[in-house]
Amino acid sequence: MQVVAVTIKDIARLSGVSITTVSRVLNNRPDVSAESRRKVEAVIASTNYIPNNSARELVRTDSTNIGLVVRGVSNPFYIDIIQAIESAVTDAGFTMVLQQIGSDKDEIAHGAIMQREKRLRGLIFLGGRFDYTPEDVTSITVPFVCCSYTNPYGTLLEGNYSSVSIADEDTAYEAVRYLIEKGHQRIAALITATNDRSISQLRYEGYVKALRDHGLESGGVICTESYDIRGAYEAMAAALQDKNSGDFTALFAISDNMAIGAMRALRDGGRRVPEDCSIIAIDGLELSAYIEPPLTTLCQPMEQMGRESVRQLLALMNGEGEHMQHILPTELREGRSVEKI
Amino acid sequence: MQVVAVTIKDIARLSGVSITTVSRVLNNRPDVSAESRRKVEAVIASTNYIPNNSARELVRTDSTNIGLVVRGVSNPFYIDIIQAIESAVTDAGFTMVLQQIGSDKDEIAHGAIMQREKRLRGLIFLGGRFDYTPEDVTSITVPFVCCSYTNPYGTLLEGNYSSVSIADEDTAYEAVRYLIEKGHQRIAALITATNDRSISQLRYEGYVKALRDHGLESGGVICTESYDIRGAYEAMAAALQDKNSGDFTALFAISDNMAIGAMRALRDGGRRVPEDCSIIAIDGLELSAYIEPPLTTLCQPMEQMGRESVRQLLALMNGEGEHMQHILPTELREGRSVEKI
């Protein structure tokens, strides 16, 4: 990688912010407005700026660092994946450097800075946008793998990037078909948004397709503000207050976490699970097999997903691997949250 | 730090194993017997052996690495702490290097190797033994902080090490007293062991003390094989089969995770929670407030614990901090898993 003489002054000028602000962004300080941060990150991503001290280190030594950018705070679904990635990275003699960013942050801009500052040899993105363009990813100049997601809304060519994920739309389709086979006709969906070009949109599309293929109308679409339990709880509680949106016998939730929040809201609203409302989800957290009632869910192979991402990254780093979209299978784990009607 | 000319041959000779075995241990390969690994790690810890490539890097460059050794696989209680640590480490301009080890592994031996290989400036141990001796920790030559645990069974002097934790025995005492105040007289404990010099023993001692202070006998001590949900489920299921051990009206579980496994086993055994058996735990996972019934638990301040550990480590690294045992308060979160009788 070439060290280009872009200075922090240039970055400030190009972003239209002060040098202090650039420095704050580089050091990940919280005291920067979201807008300034976006501007600075965009400029950094579009140049080959390398912070001084890292440039110095880069010249002096080979790094063994592999970066893991985890987007989405505290998602319990990620724990087993992170553990599998760490173990595979360490086994291969590399060092895993982890950074977590909020789900409102841009992982590519963050990865581009991290690549330079931490002298990364490769990068794994865990959770991320589904709509990268080729231009978006030019700022990443080391091999990278998208873990748990792929690029259906973007314009990356299949032969130009690597990903390891499940087939989200198909898995959602399968979940909804399971409810239909149990006799449900009024099926609601609990998602974050219908058009956010994320895992939510993708799973929503699987839901819509399953209903359409079986000649059913939607039983309601409930959108949360976030992927967490509390957000799911609040969205479901609000939906139950609304006379027009409570008329469903089953719910498809896009994650176990959100299903658990929704189950609590259903109970607090006087509805029994599964007697008054069946629930199915996607993820397969260990814990959700132990709650009351045990959750019926389509399990993602977390550990395999982590290991496979590292295997693919190491192959790319060695110049051996072909880019590929590795799609892993899910497995239905039946609990007692779905009842035949 | 001085680079000592100990070679891999020396390590092999001193450990009484082959060079190949030493190399496997250094590279964290799984194909080594537990005994060989222990021997090699002990020798490495007692010398200043530095692997060749790391020694080279050490001479060339200053590192910004702070190591985080997480002991105990997939403990959901750790997620928020890890996130707080990562964020504080990154904000301070350092790089968090994470490694996870099983709860049967020795974090000090692992940390000593990691310190050398990853050129660490400091170390945080998340989860670990409670019985370090001064000799144990000599192999760690950078500042370190024990996060979530302290040294009650060891012989470290308070002024000689740093830790951030809750008061485990007092918190367990408080949990059991809460059950007693609700009228319970036959209270069982769900722990991993009574004498393993871990968090389990410490919380068990709080349980015993609370019973004694209130003139009560134990309602049974149920020991699991591990800290995970499945282990708790199996131990509780076995206890319910045993005619001599099922005679309790309330259960104190040493973790939320274990409480969730136990609740499932109680239900599968035909006992309702809380009508037939009340449950209280320690940890305060967000999720356990949403399950049915919501779990009554003493919440640890996870985020504060993580941030405080980093603050203390950075102070030590700057030569500013005094060693201290920082004890953080817990907070009772009442769910509906405890009933007055």
Three-state SS letters, B256-276:
HHHHHHHHHHHHHCCCCCCCC
- The confidence band for A60, taking pLDDT boundaries of 50, 70 and 90, is very low
User: Which of B61, B263, B287 lies closest to A229 in CB terms?
Assistant: B287
Q: Chain B residues with CB inside 8 Å of A86's CB? A: 98-100
Beta-sheet strand order (sheet of B162-166): A325-328, A162-166, A144-147, A122-126, A65-71, A95-101, B95-101, B65-71, B122-126, B144-147, B162-166, B325-328
The residue-averaged pLDDT of A65-69 equals 95
Closest Cα in chain A, distance from residue B156 (Å) = 31
Per-residue pLDDT at A335 exceeds 80: yes
A290 with A173, same domain: the answer is yes
Closest Cα in chain A, distance from residue B185 (Å) = 27
Strand bridging mode B144-147 / A65-71 = unpaired
Phi, psi torsion values for A187, nearest 5 degrees: -115, 120
User: How many other CB atoms are found less than 10 A from the CB of residue B105?
Assistant: 17
Alpha-carbon span B134 to B127, nearest angstrom: 18
Instruction: Kindly state whether residue B293 falls inside one of the protein's structural domains.
Output: yes
What pLDDT score was predicted for residue A49?
A: 60
- The confidence band for A53, taking pLDDT boundaries of 50, 70 and 90, is very low
Alpha-carbon span A243 to B113, nearest angstrom: 62
What pLDDT score was predicted for residue A236?
A: 96
Q: Work out the percent of chain B whose per-residue pLDDT is above 90.
A: 66
Tell me the average pLDDT of chain A.
89
Tell me the average pLDDT of chain B.
89
List Cα–Cα distances, B297 to B148, B179, B203, B280, B294, in angstroms: 17, 11, 14, 5, 9
* Selected residue with higher pLDDT from A1 and B148: B148
Q: Chain A residues with CB inside 8 Å of B117's CB? A: 95
* Range in A260-264, B9-13, B77-81, B261-265 with the lowest mean pLDDT: B9-13
Domain that holds residue A293: 168-299
Instruction: Kindly state whether residue B201 falls inside one of the protein's structural domains.
Output: yes
* Selected residue with higher pLDDT from A63 and A270: A270
- The confidence band for A84, taking pLDDT boundaries of 50, 70 and 90, is very high
Residues β-bridged to residue B333:
B297
Alpha-carbon span B67 to B147, nearest angstrom: 13
Instruction: Check which CATH number belongs to the domain holding A44 and give it.
Output: 1.10.260.40
Which DSSP state fits A241? H
Do B27 and A233 count as a contact with CB atoms less than 8 A apart? Answer: no
Instruction: Kindly state whether residue A16 falls inside one of the protein's structural domains.
Output: yes
Q: Work out the percent of chain A whose per-residue pLDDT is above 90.
A: 66
Please name the residue that has the structure tokens 């990443």: A140
What pLDDT score was predicted for residue A6?
A: 62
A57 with A173, same domain: the answer is no
Do A76 and B80 count as a contact with CB atoms less than 8 A apart? Answer: no
What pLDDT score was predicted for residue A13?
A: 80
N-to-C CA span, chain A: 62
**Which helix (H) or strand (E) covers residue B54, if one does?**
helix B52-60
What 3-state DSSP class applies to A164? Answer: strand
Q: Is the peptide bond before B274 cis (omega within 30 degrees of 0)?
A: yes
Please name the residue that has the structure tokens 């922090």: A8
A274, two tokens: 């599964």
pLDDT, tens digit (0-9, with 9 covering 90-100), for B150-191 = 999 999 998 899 999 999 999 999 999 999 999 999 999 999
What pLDDT score was predicted for residue B3?
A: 36
Q: Chain A residues with CB inside 8 Å of B60's CB? A: 60-61
pLDDT, tens digit (0-9, with 9 covering 90-100), for B28-71 = 667 788 888 888 877 776 665 555 444 434 433 478 899 999 98
Alpha-carbon radius of gyration of chain A: 22
Instruction: Kindly state whether residue B220 falls inside one of the protein's structural domains.
Output: yes
What pLDDT score was predicted for residue B27?
A: 65
Angle between helices A168-181 and A199-213 (to 10 degrees): 40
Per-residue pLDDT at A86 exceeds 90: yes
What pLDDT score was predicted for residue A15?
A: 85
What 3-state DSSP class applies to A277? Answer: coil
Instruction: Kindly state whether residue B224 falls inside one of the protein's structural domains.
Output: yes
Alpha-carbon span B125 to B148, nearest angstrom: 9
Inter-residue contact A327 to A168 (CB < 8 Å): no
Instruction: Kindly state whether residue B317 falls inside one of the protein's structural domains.
Output: no
Phi, psi torsion values for A71, nearest 5 degrees: -100, 130
Stated pTM of the model: 0.82
- The confidence band for A28, taking pLDDT boundaries of 50, 70 and 90, is low
What pLDDT score was predicted for residue B40?
A: 82
| Concatenated DSSP letters of B168-227 | HHHHHHHHHHHHHHTT--SEEEEES-SSSSSHHHHHHHHHHHHHHHTT-----EEE-SSS
Instruction: Check which CATH number belongs to the domain holding A199 and give it.
Output: 3.40.50.2300
Which chain A residue has its CA at the smallest distance from B66's CA? A97
- The confidence band for B22, taking pLDDT boundaries of 50, 70 and 90, is confident
Alpha-carbon radius of gyration of chain B: 22
Closest Cα in chain B, distance from residue A216 (Å) = 31
Residue ending a domain, choose from A34, A61, A88: A61
Instruction: Kindly state whether residue B114 falls inside one of the protein's structural domains.
Output: no
Do A96 and B99 count as a contact with CB atoms less than 8 A apart? Answer: yes
* Mutation site, B52, B69, B95, interface A, largest A CB count within 10 A: B95
pLDDT, tens digit (0-9, with 9 covering 90-100), for A144-175 = 999 999 999 999 998 899 999 999 999 999 99
User: Which of A28, A263, A292 lies closest to B267 in CB terms?
Assistant: A292
What is the per-residue burial (b if ≥16 Cβ within 10 Å, else e) of A216-250?
A: eeebbbbbbebbbbebbbbbbbebbeeeeebebbb
What pLDDT score was predicted for residue A27?
A: 65
Phi, psi torsion values for B244, nearest 5 degrees: -80, -10
Among A46-50, B29-33, B242-246, B277-281, top mean pLDDT goes to B277-281
Residue ending a domain, choose from A13, A35, A61: A61
Q: Chain B residues with CB inside 8 Å of A96's CB? A: 97-99
pLDDT, tens digit (0-9, with 9 covering 90-100), for A305-318 = 999 999 999 999 99
Which DSSP state fits B330? P
Per-residue pLDDT at A48 exceeds 90: no
A7, two tokens: 């200075």
What 3-state DSSP class applies to B313? Answer: helix
Q: Chain B residues with CB inside 8 Å of A281's CB? A: none
List Cα–Cα distances, A259 to A105, A239, A256, in angstroms: 25, 14, 5
A283, two tokens: 């993820």
List Cα–Cα distances, B126 to A8, A215, B49, B65, B325, in angstroms: 37, 53, 24, 16, 15
Please name the residue that has the structure tokens 């950094």: A44
Please name the residue that has the structure tokens 């780093």: A317
Q: Chain B residues with CB inside 8 Å of A286's CB? A: 74, 228-230
Alpha-carbon span B124 to B146, nearest angstrom: 6
What pLDDT score was predicted for residue A145?
A: 97
Per-residue pLDDT at B258 exceeds 70: yes
Residue ending a domain, choose from A13, A39, A61: A61
The one-letter amino acid at B145: V
- The confidence band for A1, taking pLDDT boundaries of 50, 70 and 90, is very low
Instruction: Kindly state whether residue A337 falls inside one of the protein's structural domains.
Output: no
* Range in A87-96, A227-236, B15-24 with the lowest mean pLDDT: B15-24
Q: Per the structure, how many domains does chain B have?
A: 2
What pLDDT score was predicted for residue B48?
A: 57
What lies within 8 Å, CB to CB, of B183 at 6+ separation is: B340, B341
Do B98 and A100 count as a contact with CB atoms less than 8 A apart? Answer: no
Closest Cα in chain B, distance from residue A212 (Å) = 33
Per-residue pLDDT at A45 exceeds 90: no
Q: Is the peptide bond before A134 cis (omega within 30 degrees of 0)?
A: no
pLDDT, tens digit (0-9, with 9 covering 90-100), for B109-133 = 999 999 988 889 999 999 988 999 9
